[in-house]
Amino acid sequence: MKRSIFIVVCFLSCLSLAAKPNVYEQAVLYPSVDQHGNPLELSGRISVPQGKTPKGVILLPHYTICSNAEAPSNKVTGEAGYFNKDYVLVMPDYIGYGVTADRVHPYLAGELTARNTVDMLLGVQPLLDSLAPGVSSDSIYIIGVSQGGASALWTLKLIEEEYADQIHVIKCFASSGPYDVAATHDEAVRRNVVGIPATVAMLVIGTDVAYDLGLNYDEFFTPAMSRAYTRYIKDKKMSVFPMYFRMPERRLDHWLTAQGTDKSNPATQKLYAGLLRSSLVHYPLEEGGDSICPSWIPKTPMYIFHSTNDDVVTFRCAENLHRCFADVPNITWDFGKYGNHFISIRQFFSRVQKLLAEE
């Protein structure tokens, strides 16, 4: 346990490098839509280097958070410290955080999160024009890790399919993303292990809300999960990292009922259909099952990084992404034993810094 705490503390410390260079930061509001397509005002944060011409704009969808205090509009996220000296940063909160903290976060609903992220980029452009003249939507990079890694690819897909005449992405960098949400769930069930127990509740409830599934959570949550959700998750006051240690039990069946993992159960079938909708790609664990590869073929250069021994987001996600895009020439795949989820993310950011310096 002491070693695990040390790892997370080191991870957070490294993410906080250069947390306060000479930059201008501002929380912003912008118009977008909710899961039903209804107008919704969302929040986020921009960061603009001062005393120099920024090298470009980085769209930075964030990793999984539980506390609203960790939302970008309330706090500069850790990964920002790697890039805010040289780049304008655009950091969305996502629905469920910031000014919409009273709502359920539609966790890993990639298409909706991408829509909200693109809306922020377009919504803050007039402000960026005044704060950083000459830096426009013609010089965009997208960088994301974990949940943000999946969001980065969903966002790139939306931009290429619908906004190619307005937004030019130079390169997309993604690490450790749950691109295959359904396979992530399947792998957790197969191994009876979950990396961060809080995400069990976040995924069931977030998927239910995102796709109007009408689930009865008592069918899915054990008493332990119900108590933990009420105590640690619902009010969005506790950070995901302390929660990681307050919920040390990693057995999935401690948190999710047998009924909730049984695909013959109609409610579980509805949940699984939602997980498939949230999956950019999908290859089932069992042979002969239906797979999903998007008709979208990325045109933008991409760098995909994933540790083969990631203990939170299964490496199967990266494998399944590679199976769909193996023949796409402009993707660099970087797979190896880079340590657990947190350690590998630190390595990813360091590599991206070097790659951006070579652009």
Nearest Cα neighbor of 316 from 173, 191, 199, 154 is 191
Structure tokens at 256: 């999710």
Cβ contacts of 216-219, under 8 Å, gap ≥ 24: 216/267, 219/257, 219/259, 219/260, 219/265, 219/267, 219/268
Q: 166 and 210: one domain? A: no
Distance CA 304, CA 25 (A): 29
Strand duo 23-33 + 39-49: pairing: antiparallel
Structure tokens at 72: 């970008």
User: Is residue 33 a part of any domain in this protein?
Assistant: yes
Q: 227 and 159: one domain? A: no
**What backbone phi and psi angles, to 5 degrees, belong to 4?**
-65, -40
User: Is residue 285 a part of any domain in this protein?
Assistant: no
Q: 32 and 156: one domain? A: yes
Q: 138 and 25: one domain? A: yes
User: Is residue 282 a part of any domain in this protein?
Assistant: no
Q: 53 and 143: one domain? A: yes
Q: 210 and 88: one domain? A: no
pLDDT tens string for the chain (359 positions)?
Answer: 333 433 333 344 344 434 455 999 999 999 999 999 999 999 999 999 998 889 999 999 999 999 999 999 998 878 888 999 999 999 999 999 999 999 999 999 999 999 999 999 999 999 998 998 877 667 899 999 999 999 999 999 999 999 999 999 999 999 999 999 999 999 999 999 999 999 999 999 999 999 999 999 999 999 999 999 998 899 999 888 777 777 789 999 999 999 999 999 999 999 999 999 999 999 988 766 778 999 999 999 999 999 999 999 999 999 999 999 999 999 999 999 999 998 999 999 999 999 999 87
Residue 299 is part of a domain; what is its CATH number? 3.40.50.1820
What is the 8-class DSSP label of residue 288? T
Distance CA 278, CA 154 (A): 10
What distances in angstroms separate CA 253 from CA 220, 235, 257, 265, one per listed residue?
10, 24, 6, 16
Q: 202 and 160: one domain? A: no
Domain boundary residue, one of 218, 243, 277: 277
Q: 52 and 89: one domain? A: yes
Q: Which domain holds residue 261?
A: 182-277
Q: 247 and 146: one domain? A: no
Report the 3 state secondary structure along 248-267.
CCCEHHHCECHHHHCCCCHH
pTM of the model: 0.92
